[in-house]
Amino acid sequence: MRETIITILLSIVCLTFWIWQVDDNVTSLANERLKNAVNYAAHDASIQIDKKYLGNGRIAFNNAKAEEVFRQTVADNLFLDSDLVPRPNTLFKEKITVIYTDFIDDRDGITYPFFYENEAYGIHHWIFGPAVVFAVEVPRPRTFNVNPSYSLVKWSVFEYPVPR
Amino acid sequence: MRQVIMVLLISTLFLVYMFQPFLNEVYHLRNLALQTTLDRGIEKAAVDGRFTEPTINEMKTTLANQLHFSPEEVTFSGTTGVTPRGGYIEGTLEIPAGQLWILPSIFGGANDIKELRAYAKQMSEYIAR
């Protein structure tokens, strides 16, 4: 009887830690993949410029095209469908939402370097040229239902990559 | 007899509880290292317009050195042809997954994932001159 009780108690303690560890690992991987995907997507969006301004030596983004490309790249990197809903048997379980979009370009009449701030999403970033800003949110993938539920928010500020 | 059964049961559980977390952690860290290495590689590829031989070799050598594989065990597939600005570049990097379960015969080791894989896709910013 004594051995049985000890075994059960030991199992409860060890399994609790193990569940916590596996969940932490999955969240960490999700963080890494989500941040990378948002960076790639913001990079791709920053290439989408309006060519009619380029002739005057100004950089202005094609906002609609940039948003479309952002969603496409996020979807391709995280294996989502066109509505940003994860495909079956992939890391994320719930829909990813683009919660914030901003474009800073030569139409805004600002001088660089410019300190970009957005308190709502904790964005504080120096920019040295025209840039795009995107933020996404997704409920974190939980390994077990007993794990706490919260959302991951990732943002990226990407300057227009000047041709080298 | 009862004592023997208890010892067998407890020692099996003890083995799992003692060593399984380490295998999980190693598996996870390999996965993260793979993601990070491919992330660095695709940043260079975006500038060059493709995954060049030096970029591919650097990724393979980094993983081989850090995770103690031979470079032949690290496999890469992806865009190696020059892609103009605005075209998509993609890359997949794979390494052997290693052992995930301390007692694979009990926890379904035959169904284990054999390779860890990272995938990335980004547009090229290369302009041909």
CA distance B36 to chain A (A): 8
Residue of B60, B71, B70, B73 whose CA lies nearest to B33: B60
B3 domain residue, yes or no: no
User: Which residue in the set A29, A43, A161 is minimally distant from B28, CB to CB?
Assistant: A29
B47 against B8, higher pLDDT: B47
pLDDT reading at B123 higher than 90: yes
User: In this structure, how many other beta carbons lie within 10 angstroms of the beta carbon of residue A93?
Assistant: 14
**Does residue B47 belong to any structural domain of this protein?**
yes
Which residues have C-beta within 8 Å of that of residue A126, sequence separation ≥ 6?
A: A113, A114, A115, A116
Residue A147 belongs to a domain: yes
The token pair that represents A151 in the structure block: 């959302």
Residue of chain B whose Cα is closest to the Cα of A161: B125
- Check pLDDT > 80 for residue B108: no
Q: Which distant-in-sequence residues (6+ apart) come within 8 Å of A74 by Cβ?
A: A37, A38, A41, A80, A84, A96, A98, A136
In a domain? residue A164: no
User: How many Å apart are CA B88 and CA A73, to the nearest integer?
Assistant: 9
- Please, are residues A134 and A42 in contact by the beta-carbon 8 Å criterion? yes
B31 vs A134: CA distance, rounded Å: 26
- What gap in Å lies between CA A53 and CA B49, rounded to an integer? 25
CB A130 within 8 A of CB A161: no
Output DSSP code: residue B14: H
Read off the pLDDT of each residue in A97-102 and give the average, rounded to a whole number: 95
Residue B105 has pLDDT above 70, yes or no: no
Instruction: Give mean pLDDT, residues A91-108.
Output: 92
Model pLDDT, residue A66 = 95
In a domain? residue A25:
yes
Residues in chain B within 8 Å Cβ distance of A21:
21, 24-25
Q: Which domain holds residue B63?
A: 20-123
Pairing of strands B88-96, A131-139: unpaired
**Chain A CB within 8 Å of residue B115 CB:** no
Is residue B1 assigned to a domain?
no
Average pLDDT over residues B41-57: 94
Is residue B15 included in any domain, yes or no?
Answer: no
Q: Is residue A72 part of a domain?
A: yes
Whole-number Å distance between alpha carbons of A161 and B56: 23
Q: In this complex, is the C-beta atom of B113 within 8 Å of any C-beta atom belonging to chain A? A: no
Res A70: pLDDT: 96
CA dist., res. B121 & res. A37, Å (int): 8
Q: Give the C-alpha separation, B99 to B82, whole Å.
A: 38
In a domain, residue B11? The reply is no
Residue B14 lies in a domain: no
Residue A2 or B54, more confident: B54
- Residue that wins the pLDDT comparison between A1 and A134: A134
List the single residue in B10, B21, B24 with the smallest CB-CB distance to A7. B10
d(CA A141, CA B16): 25
* Residue B33 confidence (pLDDT): 94
Q: For chain A, how many residues are written?
A: 164
Average pLDDT, chain B: 88
Query: What total of structural domains would you count in chain A?
Result: 1
Q: Is residue B2 part of a domain?
A: no
Check residue B109 and give its pLDDT: 61
Domain count, chain B: 1
Q: For the segment B57-81, what is each residue's pLDDT rounded down to a tens digit?
A: 999 999 999 888 888 899 999 999 9
Boundaries of domain holding A13: 2-159
What is the Cα–Cα distance from A110 to A130, expressed in whole angstroms? 10
For position B70, what pLDDT does the model report? 87
Q: Is the pLDDT of residue B85 over 80?
A: yes
For A74-88, A105-119, B53-67, B74-88, which range has the lowest pLDDT when averaged over its residues? A105-119
pTM over 0.80: yes
Question: Is residue B110 predicted with pLDDT exceeding 90?
Answer: no
Question: Which residues in chain B have Cβ-Cβ distances shorter than 8 Å to A69?
Answer: 123
